[in-house]
Structure 1
Amino acid sequence: MREVEKKIQVIDDIEDRIDRQLHINSQRRELRSKKQELERREEEISEQLERRNSEAELAKEEVERLESEKTELKSEVDDLKSDIKQLQQDKSDVKDSISALREKKKELDRKVERVYSKILKIDSDDQ
């Protein structure tokens, strides 16, 4: 009987080892599956990161282009403001010149009137 108990014990031990090994194998498969899932996820994240970095680089280039365009437009605006000031000054100068010319015209009209009066007086004296 002792012999049978030993054999049963050996069989039980073997079954326990097999069960442990099956459990270990199951855990290994599960870990491999999790590892593959993590690697796949890591690859997805890496691709997303590359896309975002690429998009960020494009956005940065766009910002630089827009800033350059903004600087150019500011320069154009400054030039236009300067032109407007110059035109306003020219307009003021033209108004002053027109006023001066009107005064000269009035003065010349008065002189012409005096000369014309003198001519008429001379004509009437001659008659």
Structure 2
Amino acid sequence: MINFSIKFQSGVPIYEQIIYAVKKAIVSEQLRPGDTFPSVRELSKDLRINPNTAQKVIAHLVREKLLIIKPGIGSVVSELKEATDLQRKEILDTEIEKLVVEAKRLLINKKEVIDAVKSHWNLDNEE
């Protein structure tokens, strides 16, 4: 059984949507360090996706060190480690670039983007 939610959207590869949903679940603490993660078989059955796609998702999450494989247990959510300042900046720069490119493609102005970011940031009730 999966303990995170996902709404599939057309036009975005399914594996990318699942990876995003898992990252969101980790950040929001729906998935906590040490929680078991569904096996390839469980993930493909629960989400009704091809087992190859489920394997691709798990392999990606392991590469990103969000999951670790424990013999006899399977995949588990790993402890979040602090990234270095440089790593955080590189990751953030990449994500911001994607956001800006997509906003410009959709003809969304800078103020609307900033307002949307503030709105999403405040969903966590953080400043």
With normalisation by structure 1, the TM-score equals: 0.19
Q: Which has the larger radius of gyration?
A: 1
Higher strand proportion (structure 1 or 2): 2
- Higher normalized contact order (CA 8 Å, seq sep 6+, divided by chain length): 2
Higher helix proportion (structure 1 or 2): 1
